[in-house]
Amino acid sequence: MIKDTPPGGTPAIELRGAGKVFRTPSGAAHTAVRDLDLTVRQGEFVAVVGPTGCGKSTTLTLVSGLEEPTEGEVLIGGRPVDGIHPGVGFVFQQDAVFPWRTVLSNVMAGPRFRGVPKAEARQRARDWLRRVGLAAFADRYPHQLSGGQRKRVALAQTFVNDPAILLMDEPFSALDVQTRALMSDELLELWGGARDGRSPASVVFVTHDLEEAIALADRVVVMTAGPATVKEVFPIALPRPRRVESVRLEARFIEIYREIWSALGEEVRITRERGAGHVA
Ligand SMILES: Nc1ncnc2c1ncn2[C@@H]1O[C@H](COP(=O)(O)OP(=O)(O)OP(=O)(O)O)[C@@H](O)[C@H]1O
């Protein structure tokens, strides 16, 4: 087990003994996550893997401020999370685009909402559309784009707000395998080069795909079967820059995969043996 303390400076995200109990419609208590201890450093890319339904998304909603913990603490930049933090960006499996707005207007929406003057918002949006390879698509509507292109819009929409923290919940899982690998590479490039010489965003990336987790992350967090807590944290000592299609063929990658799978596979088996979910 790797001790989870950052080397110095204020950690970007801290979960300290955090837990979440939901009330089900029948009034019963359902523990989704428990005793979560995790620190994400500034500029660190952390991937979270765990069996289906274990509580990965719930962990993200606690960090996002969309839900409050019922136990323990969640801190961003050393302060308790109190509602949705302006420095946090999200990318989910479902695209959060406005279907009635053009691509450009979608990417401008965040800065406009934050009070950026129209001309500057347009300029920033155009710049991000260029960076994600969609400069020629600014006037299209979301339904006129492919799944991968819509995902690029979602990335531009998020990065245009210059988030210090990026929360991603299976952002590429609806894409085909090749597009997915391409998008992972693009994400790494955007993440590495986004903040003009400043430390990159701190990322928490939830995925079902262990290969994706290893290819992207500095550390991979394995969660237990639900109610989830941190089972083990694995540092990924693979050099950057990485290209996901080539890095996963490296001998070291395969060794890391085996090591993490021995921890994750056990939790997946427990979840399967219980059936789809767990009894709270
Ligand atoms: N609002 C809610 N009310 C009641 N129970 C909830 C609520 N949200 C989530 N849960 C339950 O909490 C548990 C964890 O759900 P969560 O979505 O966090 O898991 P997950 O690991 O992200 O799942 P998956 O891998 O399938 O996406 C599940 O049993 C789920 O049914």
Query: Residue 189 corresponds to which tokens in the numbers above?
Result: 């490039």
Are both 128 and 153 inside the same structural domain? Answer: yes
In a domain, 183, yes or no: yes
pLDDT of residue 96: 76
- Same domain? For 11 and 69 the reply is yes
Residue 26 Cα distances to 21, 22, 269, angstroms: 14, 11, 29
Question: Does pLDDT of 66 surpass 50?
Answer: yes
Residue type, 111: P
The answer to the question of residue 171 being in a domain is no
pLDDT at residue 39 tops 90: yes
ipTM: 0.94
pLDDT for residue 279: 46
Domain count, the chain: 2
At 2, is the pLDDT very low, low, confident or very high (cuts 50, 70, 90)?
A: very low
Is 48 in the same domain as 117? no
CATH number, domain at 6?
3.40.50.300
Q: What is the mean pLDDT of residues 117-131?
A: 94
Fill in the DSSP letter of residue 211.
H
Q: Nearest C-alpha to atom 23 of ligand 1 is from which residue?
A: 53
Confidence of residue 70 (pLDDT cuts 50, 70, 90): very high
Ligand 1 nearest-atom number relative to CA 33? 14
DSSP string, 85-138: -TTEEEEESS----TTS-HHHHHHHHHHHTT--HHHHHHHHHHHHHHTT-GGGT
Residues 197, 270 share a domain: yes
Note the pLDDT of residue 106.
Answer: 95
Full domain range(s) for residue 133: 94-162
Distance 151 CA to ligand 1 centre (A): 24
State whether 210 and 277 are in the same domain: yes
**235-263 per-position pLDDT tens digit:** 999 999 999 989 999 999 999 999 999 99
Average pLDDT over residues 146-174: 91
Q: What lines the ligand 1 site, CB under 6 Å?
A: 22, 24, 30, 32, 50, 52-58, 226, 277
Confidence tier at 97 by pLDDT (50, 70, 90): confident
Q: Give the pLDDT of residue 148.
A: 87
pLDDT at position 9: 64
Q: Within this chain, do residues 55 and 112 fall inside the same structural domain, yes or no? A: no
Q: Is residue 167 part of a domain?
A: no
The two tokens of residue 133 are 């390879």
Pair 185, 259 in one domain: yes
Average pLDDT value for residue range 163-185 = 90
Give the mean model confidence (pLDDT) for residues 34-42: 96
Q: According to the model, what pLDDT value does residue 160 have? A: 93
Mean of the pLDDT values across residues 137-143?
Answer: 94
- Domain end, chosen from 105, 129, 162, is at 162
User: How high is the pLDDT of residue 198?
Assistant: 75
Same domain, 219 and 253: yes
Residue ID of nearest Cα to ligand 1 atom 30: 53
Mean per-residue pLDDT, 148-170: 92
Residue 168 lies in a domain: no
| Bigger pLDDT: 277 vs 20 | 20
DSSP 8-state code for residue 201:
P
| CB 268, CB 276: distance < 8 Å | no
User: Is residue 62 included in any domain, yes or no?
Assistant: yes
Percent above pLDDT 70 for the chain: 94
**Domain-ending residue, one of 113, 134, 162:** 162
Task: Answer yes or no: is pLDDT of 63 > 80.
Answer: yes
Q: Are residues 114 and 72 in the same domain?
A: no
Domain boundary among 162, 187, 215: 162
Q: Which of 221, 220, 223, 235 is nearest to 268 (CA)?
A: 223
Q: pTM for this structure?
A: 0.91
By the 8 A CB rule, do 166 and 54 touch?
no
Atom 14, ligand 1: residue with shortest CA distance:
55
Rounded Cα gap, residues 199 and 216, in angstroms: 17
Please give the residue that has the higher pLDDT: either 96 or 48.
Answer: 48
- Ligand 1 pocket test: which of 31, 52, 56, 172 has the largest number of ligand atoms within 8 Å of its C-beta? 56
Task: Please tell me whether residues 116 and 191 are part of one structural domain.
Answer: no
Say yes or no: 115 and 229 in one domain.
no
Q: How many CB atoms lie within 10 A of CB 210?
A: 18
Q: Do 33 and 83 belong to one domain?
A: yes
